[in-house]
Structure 1
Amino acid sequence: MTVIAMDAAPEGVRGELTRWFLELKPGVFIGKVNTRIRDLLWERICQTDAANGAVMAYAAPNEQGFSLRVFGVPKRRVNDFEGIQLITIQKD
């Protein structure tokens, strides 16, 4: 299972992601894809200049059962604390 949340997702990227995922609400995508497709889609997101920030969560064989990837400057940041990924919110 993979979840991608994007701030201000451009139409082109949203269209490409909807080929593989369901869009639960604007900028939030969920689906099950293999590792190759997941990595290719993440590269596509990272190559997009118009995206403010993106976070991807996907199943992984670790203590939490998932891993997170972050691109850009999303409103929430992922911090690694001794192997456990936690979300922190920046104050303005």
Structure 2
Amino acid sequence: MANLTVISTTAVPPHVRGALSRWMLEPAPGLYIGTLSAKVRTELWAVVAASVGDGAAVLIHPADNEQRFTLQTAGERRRSLVDADGMLMIALNPMERNETEAIE
């Protein structure tokens, strides 16, 4: 059975955007939405995750858990997923200090 799937991308290569737009609609830049089977979603996410380069991507789709959805991420992000007893939460990672910044 097909389910609603959302993928959000940031600074990904053009070929990733092209692959996503073949299967999903892009209502806003970098935001893709579509009704995909689990097989298509898995294969598409494998391509996205392997190709994000310096960018980042987030996959959101229904799941049989308390929140009724799950998240997956690819690429370097300031936010990371934390599993708190089966509930997904978002943790902000500290920003890395720029080497040119003065040390206090």
What TM-score does the superposition give when structure 1 sets the normalisation length?
0.90
Match of 1:48 among 43, 48, 51: 51
The whole-number CA distance in structure 1 between the counterparts of 2:79 and 2:33 is 19
Q: Output the amino acid matched with 2:43.
A: L
For residues 1-92 of structure 1, what are the structure 2 equivalents within 5 Å? 1-48=4-51, 50-92=53-95
The whole-number CA distance in structure 2 between the counterparts of 1:11 and 1:21 is 15
The sequence identity of aligned pairs, in percent, is: 36
Cα 1:51/1:45, change in 2 over 3 Å: farther
Partner SS state of residue 36, structure 1: helix
How many residues in Structure 1 have an aligned counterpart in Structure 2?
Answer: 92
The whole-number CA distance in structure 2 between the counterparts of 1:23 and 1:70 is 19
Aligned alpha-carbon RMSD (Å)? 1.4
Q: Which moved more, 1:48-57 or 1:1-10?
A: 48-57
Do 2:6 and 2:32's aligned partners in 1 also have CA atoms closer than 8 Å? yes
What TM-score does the superposition give when structure 2 sets the normalisation length?
0.80
**Structure with greater Cα Rg:** 2
